[in-house]
Amino acid sequence: MWERGEIEQIVINRTAMSSKAKRQCDRSTISNDCRLFIPLAYLGVLLCLLPTCSPVSLSPEVMAGHFASYDKEDILVRCSVTSSSSNFGNPLASMEEDDSEDLPGDDIIVKFNTYRNISDHVAWLYSFTGNGCDDWRNIVRENVAAQKFPTDFIVLRLLTKENVEEEVEEERERHVDSIAGATTSKDEERGQHILAEKLQNSPHIQAIAHQRLIDRSLFAYHGAEGGEEDGDAGAGVLEQRLRRMMGVNEEEEGEVATQGSHHRKIMAKGLISITKYTNADALWRLGHTGRGVRVAVFDTGIPESHPSFRNVRERTDWTDEETLEDHIGHGTFVAGLIASTHPHCAGFAPDAEVYAFRVFNKKQVSYTSWFLDAFNYAMQIGIDVLNLSIGGPDFLDRPFVEKVEEMSANGIIVVSAIGNDGPRYGTLNNPADQLDVIGVGGITYDDRLATFSSRGMTTWELPAGYGRVKPDIVAYGKGIRGPTTSGSGCRSLSGTSVASPVVAGMVTLLAGMTAPALLNPAMMKQILTQAATPVPGHHIFEQGMGKVDLLKAAKLAENYVPRASTIPARLDLTECPYFWPYCSQPAYYSSMPVVANLTVLNPLSVAGTIENVRMELNADGFAGDTALLAAEFSHSELLWPWTGWLSVSFRVTRAGLSMNGVVSGRIVFDVVSDEKGEASTVVVPLRINLAPPPPRSRRLLWDQFHSLRYPSGYFPRDNLAIKSDILDWNGDHVHTNFRDFYTDLRARGYFVEVSGGDWTCVDAANYAALLLVDPEEAYFEEEIQKLADDVYTRGLSLLVVGEWYNSGVMKKLKFLDQNTQSWWLPQTGGANLPELNRVLAPFHMALSDRVLDATVEVKGGGKAFRYESGTSLFQFPKGGRLFSVRAKDTVSGTTRYFPIMGIYSTGTGPGNGRVAVLGDSNCLDGNHRRGMPCYDTVDTLLAFLCHNKTDEKLFPPALILHSAFRSDFGALPQPMPGTHFARYSRVLLADNEEAEGETEGYDKSSGLPTTRRQRRPQCLAEILERRGPLPNISTLAGPAVNESEALAALPKPGGGFYPSTRQGWPYFALGLMIGGCALGIYIRYYSWLASMLQQLLPKGAFPPRRLLDDSREDDELIDNQHINGGVAGGNGGGGHHGSSSVGVASASTSVAASVAATMAAMTATTSGLPAATSKMMMMNLGGGGGGLDSEAALAPSSSTGVSVASTTIGRWGRVSQITKRSNNSKEPLFNKV
């Protein structure tokens, strides 16, 4: 299929033009012959580097032979439409709601391997499809690049019924007859896929992808709770997917006088031109002003004859509007930072030649094809420096990404904003996160990282690997002054879109000082990063190499000698905080590998290779002749364009088992230039801290393998309340959005390791607990078998933190995506609960399909935290303990008590592990958490898992389940029809993939074997060889829960049970009868009983009159320290009892005791209680088994003035706890949770 599936590191193996060939072309006066030579040079390099590609399939002559007999111009006219014609201009017109998520969009970009005229591409496609252009139309691109120069792509519209009806009558009849009346019928959908697959498989076509919307605006999302119609989220709903300009806010000049002294200081600096503050004027005095350098600004344009610009050479419009004016002002401001001549807001290179590319229209919208044409034109006219103050998280937009790489290969230095999604981590934007692009973050004038600046690491490599360092550098981006659109003055803006042109202006200035033979993207990135100074207090994934230093970079440029290097240039993993997280935890024997990724810069040649990689240790790295540290390497097969990557995985050897100290050495490798065959040796200094392995009880393993995220597919955000950010794109890694949780775990003494492989590759004996937090991936059957065996027999414990999963909510999150002009359907909920329940099935546990919001207050478990879009426990085994809170189910609107957390021990032996489950991860997610975190509560769970310590305040004995629990509210989550999850999975096989062998599994509901189409686990053969056949799950876990015998009620925190609508009605009736009987006896024999009870009961059996006097606070809790809520299901009968209509409930094992206690309470009431509080008391008299309040008891009527809660019948019914409250109180009658 041509949809994007599993995420992989994009390895560039396409055409690359040698710099020698490129230099033979005069960039200022490029001729037709030279333009023809460029793609042929590309072809020659490709054939040399990639022998597996067929020369015949890429030959322009062979390609031309397909359509030599056709009239190309006639075909072009017949098979083309304008993008604005009739329904073709409306992306919504051709689509209606459909349950198929993967329906191809109308407009696709077809990228060829060669540059040719559009008429040649269209004519070849006309012949290639076999039926002319019946199923597609070429979209006319009315711009100078497409009309005057060869191109490597065309934009096609795949026809649907709605499209065809706008054609001439005979064409409409021919197409509609085969569509069977549906706008997007299955036949039509199949036809679109067949055409797309046929194109994808052609050797002449490099790639096809959707035409994407690129938008700078921020749109709020209206989804599950907003009452929107299914599938109608509105245009621009996913602003995260859109490439957008990175402006944050405009700051008024008058703020200086009204703010505090610190802000005044910063703004005062801002009133100084950024060029003076960075000493650019010193270079001007030396005659360096950017003269002769061509700089392109891709933005909203520049007004004609703007007084602040000296040398605007060309203005071009690439949008659907016929104007060159800047209606937004963003493009003028950005260009001004590079080349303005205004005395109060001068640019860095005032004499540079400015080329204004208007790629955003008045609505601040653009499309991928507009950028691709503009990029091609930039290469044709010989641009030197290009600024992109835009970005988005979609690094899998192949046409865009590859075109940026192609520009770099042609020597264009691309500078781009890293993004304004800070202070969140894992929020880097593309194209700034690409290897060949200079990615720029923002700092303030007092050299602090700007709050808005996006943080790393890159997420391309996740979940299997580890991210790269980005941004590359940071520059001033807060309160920077630039020209206004009118040119009458200056204004201040903030954002990484401001920091980016600051660096682009410096690059333009430095390019004018550099010999043309030496100037290339790798050289410029090299001198900028080497001249940068780290910003104190910030780590490498926040600032890269640090704050750019223009004068220091200028000195490096003057004396520049080409050589290969890396980013970072050293690996001092002991230096804190700069090398966080490496410096936060030592390496030790048996730990997961410590992975460090290096960006390799090769200014010697556009293409090269890495060879002879090795690690050399100093004397402190050896014990005798044995090395204490080992390293494994992986790297780019080809360094192109100008850059590549090298990944180093460090492992401590057995010789380092008792090592406690620093090991030093170096990573050494050679970079060989493909152009000249020259080799440049790179040496990367190394320091790493080693320590003995910590005790097993302190070792935690974070599962990263089962995490999936956007942009491979539509994976929604965990917190549905975050309307503006509904994509899960931050990596779900302990060093990105769970960074704060990692820091807290380290502060509590835990050692956290990360696993990028499946569970078959892990030795459970090394770890106290496995952390499954917010997983989206499926699980191998063998993983589940091994994990169950490890928990039941090998002492491993398991912490599961889930998220919401509800098909109805997922249906509401469906929307028509204008990027692909197709329906997008979530592949999972916040987590993949159907798969997670398969993991929990051996322990007789399951999570439900409820979506809950609550505020959780816990005793003994730390501070209160918010429970947002979490789930509840649907099933839990006998012997476990459940913690419940009153929460709102956003699916049904019901507010009631739900179990959200539970603990369970599989036994008491040394090989028996424990399991803890929490239904929401948002309180651990630092990027989207609202309110206090739940770190204290999770620490309580980890104390249970790792040290077998149960917090009796959070999980008192009263919460023990004496029979299995199965909820009567909600259901088990079921996979939603219409999704194609297997396409994005590394575990499951898609329908069109050949099975590697079907494996037997275990069905959690029936206990019967089942089959499952899946791949083979990574280490299955090794596990089977070392441990033998994996045990049957049913043998470990015993029989499945009998639903008919399962307990539907929940234990209260103080004893007793919450009500069950399924099983509680007999006890409700029993309680009603007992209460009525007691009330009748009281009315008839009041005087006699009162006198008898006063004589029989010991003195002081009831609280004295003064205890309930009106002088007390209305909400005072009076506790005589005799609380004993009873054990759920204990010896006293363990029944479930509902409250009576008169407000009296009894769950005693003795009716006489209930009557006696009731009478005693009534006597106390009539013997002097104030009138305001002498109304009917609602009593819950707990025997050995405790009582069960109904929902009416949980929210008493307005007639209730006094409630006796969590009471115990001790010696003749002593009331142990009394709560007074106002008449309208809705608080529950038991202890708060």
User: Within 10 A of 595 (CB to CB), how many other CB atoms are there?
Assistant: 18
User: Within 10 A of 722 (CB to CB), how many other CB atoms are there?
Assistant: 16
With the C-alpha atoms ordered 451, 452, 453, 459, is the resulting torsion angle positive or negative? positive
Task: Confirm if 103 and 203 have CB atoms less than 8 A apart.
Answer: no
Catalytic residue among 98, 106, 152, 299: 299
Torsion from C-alpha of 1183, 1184, 1185, 1191, nearest 10 degrees: 30
Helix (H, G, I), strand (E, B) or coil at 180: coil
Q: 385 phi and psi, to 5 degrees?
A: -130, 140
Task: Confirm if 882 and 1051 have CB atoms less than 8 A apart.
Answer: yes
626-627 and 622-623 strand pairing: antiparallel
Torsion from C-alpha of 902, 972, 462, 2, nearest 10 degrees: 180
**Burial letters for 857-886: b for 16+ Cβ neighbours within 10 Å, e otherwise?**
ebeebbeebbbbbbbbbbbbbbebbbbbbb
Q: For 691-806, where are the E strands, in sequence order?
A: 699-703, 751-755, 769-773, 797-801
Distance in angstroms (rounded) separating the CA atoms of residues 986 and 463: 10
Among 605, 671, 585, 598, residue whose Cα is nearest residue 633 = 598
Catalytic residue among 330, 539, 928, 980: 330
Q: Tokens in use for 571?
A: 């690996």
Distance in angstroms (rounded) separating the CA atoms of residues 398 and 375: 14
Task: Confirm if 360 and 389 have CB atoms less than 8 A apart.
Answer: no
Distance in angstroms (rounded) separating the CA atoms of residues 39 and 831: 47
Q: Tokens in use for 785?
A: 């078998």
Catalytic residue among 80, 94, 453, 497: 497
Among 126, 127, 129, 156, residue whose Cα is nearest residue 141 = 156
Helix count and strand count (H, E) for the chain = 29, 50
Catalytic residue list contains 1087: no
Catalytic residue list contains 119: no
Task: Confirm if 158 and 195 have CB atoms less than 8 A apart.
Answer: yes
Query: First-to-last CA distance in the chain?
Result: 51
User: Within 10 A of 186 (CB to CB), how many other CB atoms are there?
Assistant: 11
State the burial class of residue 921 (Cβ atoms within 10 Å of its Cβ: 0-12, 13-18, 19+).
buried
Among 961, 1004, 842, residue whose Cα is nearest residue 913 = 842
Distance in angstroms (rounded) separating the CA atoms of residues 194 and 971: 39
Distance of CA 716 to the CA centre of its chain: 8
CA angle, 443 as apex, 454 and 394 as ends, to 5°? 20
DSSP H or E stretch at residue 552:
helix 550-558
User: Within 10 A of 486 (CB to CB), how many other CB atoms are there?
Assistant: 12
One DSSP character per residue, 807-872 reads: HHHHHHT-EEETTTTEEE--SSSSS-HHHHHHHHGGGT-EE-S--EEEEE--SSS-S-EEEEEE--
**Burial letters for 375-384: b for 16+ Cβ neighbours within 10 Å, e otherwise?**
bbbbbbbbbb
State the burial class of residue 220 (Cβ atoms within 10 Å of its Cβ: 0-12, 13-18, 19+).
exposed
Catalytic residue list contains 369: no
Task: Confirm if 882 and 965 have CB atoms less than 8 A apart.
Answer: yes
**Would you please indicate which residues are annotated as catalytic (active-site) residues?**
299, 330, 497
